[in-house]
Structure 1
C-alpha cells in the first residue's frame, strides 16, 4: 500500500482502529471523523475495502445475514495498524512543521496550542 494514504483510506483505517465494523457503520464513522467532509458511497467504500483486504491491512472479522443480505464486519490487521501508525506520525510531523512556520510568520490566536 502506497503512502501517503489518501484521506478516505486513512479514515477507513482510523475507523477500524476502534473496533470491527460493517459497511454502513464505516460510512457513518468516516463521515463523523471527517466532520461530514468525506461522504463515502457504498461502491467507493467496498472498492477500498477490497484493496485493503488484498493488501492485508484489513480482514473480514465475521459475516452474518441481516434482512436476507450478507453483512461483513471488517477489522484492522496488525500490518494495517502499523501502516496507520506510520502515516499518523508522518502527518503529525507535517502539522508540527507547518504550525511552527505559521507561528513564526503570522502569530494568531488560532495557532496557540492544540494544533500540533
Structure 2
C-alpha cells in the first residue's frame, strides 16, 4: 500500500502493487502447516546458561567480597563502553574520530567484553 499524500509520478520506491501482475504471488505457509522442531541442544545450553547465571547471582550477592563486587561492576562498565562506544559507534558506524590512546583503550575494553573482532586501521 502506498503512503498517503501527494506522490511523485516516478519513484525509485518499490511497493507490492508494483509487482508484475502475471507473476505468481509468493504465499507464506500458514502456522497450522508448520511443525515444531525442538532443538534439544539449544534447550539444554540455554537452561545451563540461565542456571549458571542464577547461581552466579546468588554467589555474587551472598558470598563475594566487596572488592570482587566492585571489580565486577567496573569490568561490566568497561566492557559496555568498549562495545557501544568502540566497536559499535567508532568502528562500525564511524560516528566519530578518536586519537590513538582512546582507540587502544576501547580495543582493550572491547576485549574485556569478549566480543567478536573489530576491523580497524590503527
Q: Mark yes or no: TM-score above 0.5.
A: no
TM-score, normalised on structure 2? 0.25
Tell which has more relative contact order, 1 or 2 (C-alpha 8 A, sep 6+): 1
Which protein shows a greater Rg?
2
Higher strand content, 1 or 2: 1
TM-score, normalised on structure 1? 0.26
